[in-house]
Amino acid sequence: MADAQQPTSFAGRTVIVTGGGSGIGQAIATLFGARGARVGILDLASADATVRTITEAGGTAMHVQCDVSKQDDVSRAFAEIGERFGPVDVLVNSAGVAHVGTVEQTTEADLDRIYAVNVKGVYNCLKAAVASMKDRGGAILNVASVAATVGIPDRFAYSMSKGAVVTMTLSVARDYIGRKIRCNSISPARVHTPFVDGFLARNYPGREGEVFEQLARTQPIGRMGKPHEIAELALYLCSDAASFITGSNYTIDGGFTTLKM
């Protein structure tokens, strides 16, 4: 049994993080790297900053440019990472895109875009990881959202996609519990990431600070979450310390879903 005073180590393990180039995914990839994992980052955009942060701290990381909505891209990326680091031991599905709008404001193109990344992208990575982990063992974590279980205004397509992430989590956990694979999800509320800053700049120019505070106050704790806080929960759920946990969805939301103001 590991000493409870020692940080959780992922030394010798291959961890794949999608969307690891920025935001929550970047924080997760960086924390795994700091704990000794060989980190493979799948991101369509640049992940140079994440790789540099990990390697300059003495860790090991690589970035494979990948469109998770395309199964061939995902298969190629898993193969590249496997060739360099060995088969995947942990998968964190963090890649995602957002959309603001009601059902009437959501176009068919909007829905297809959200589905392609947030649902099909998770499916593609689950399919690749499960094939590699079966009987050898592994842990999978899917990043969902409080929008999966709570009605949030103007989030029709996004809520649809995150609800699917939670139910895919339950399905994989059930189907592969006998094949040594654990699968869980986490559901953050608002987290202060570059996406939030970009959203405010585009939609509320000159009022960014005011609207930021309004959004922060929607969470009873009085602030947005921080990416490193989400990363700590992700690390725990993928660690041996959580070996009895599978098929669970954990909210990390500053009381948003349970402590209504």
Structure tokens at 109: 């193109």
CA-to-CA separations, 153 to 33, 123, 158, in angstroms, rounded: 37, 26, 11
* 204 is an active site residue: no
Integer Cα distance of 230 and 146 in angstroms: 13
- 60, 85 contact by CB (below 8 A): yes
Which of the residues 158, 176, 204, 236 is marked catalytic? Answer: 158
Integer Cα distance of 109 and 91 in angstroms: 29
Strand ranges for 104-226 from DSSP E:
138-143, 181-188
> What are the DSSP calls for 78-134, one per residue?
HHHHHHHH-S-SEEEE-------B-TTT--HHHHHHHIIIIIIHHHHHHHHHHHHHT
Cβ within 8 Å of residue 17, ≥6 positions away: 25, 28, 29, 32, 39, 40, 41, 42, 92, 94
Residues forming the active site? 158
